[in-house]
Amino acid sequence: MDEDRVHDAVLIMTELVENAYRHAGGPRRLCVQLVRESGVIRVEVEDRSPMRLPVLGRHGHTDSDGAGLLIVNRLSTRWGFRRRDAVKTVWAEVSACRTSELDALGVTSPAEQIAVGVSREAPCVL
C-alpha cells in the first residue's frame, strides 16, 4: 500500500470528522476499511444529522463552510453520503495502489483504478 495514499486517507478522515463536529454535533461512528475487491481505502463518518447534507465549498471563497469537502473532493477517487433513519454517513474512497502499480497495469482514470482492485490485503476496520 502506498504511504502517500494512507496520508491522503488520514487527511480525509480528519476533514470528515471535523465536519461532523462542526455541523452535526459530532461523529457517531468512524470506519476506515481497506476494500480488497476494489483496491481502495474507504473512510466513513456517521452522524445523527441526516437532514444536514454535505455541501462542497467553492475554491477561493472566503467562507470556510465546505472547504474541508474541497480537500476530500481533491484527494479522493470518489465521495458521497447516504441517509437512513436518524443517521447520515459521509464516505470517501482513496486508491490504495501506488501510481507505479497502476501505470504498470495501464490504468489511468479513477474509475479504472476502482475497477482493477490491485490491492490483495485483507480488509480491516479500525
User: What does the pLDDT read at residue 3?
Assistant: 85
User: What does the pLDDT read at residue 59?
Assistant: 65
pTM: 0.73
User: What does the pLDDT read at residue 104?
Assistant: 58
Q: Is-contact 125 32, C-beta < 8 A? A: yes
CATH topology of domain 3-116: Heat Shock Protein 90 (3.30.565)
User: What does the pLDDT read at residue 120?
Assistant: 34
C-alpha distances in Å from residue 57, one per residue of 13, 66, 71: 18, 4, 10
The tens digit of pLDDT for each residue in 18-28 reads: 999 999 999 99
CA distance 110 to 21: 29
Query: Amino acid identity of 104?
Result: A
DSSP 125: B
In the chain, which stretches have pLDDT less than 70? 59-66, 98-126
The tens digit of pLDDT for each residue in 82-104 reads: 999 999 999 999 998 765 555 55
CA distance 26 to 14: 12
Any idea where the domains of the chain sit in the sequence?
3-116
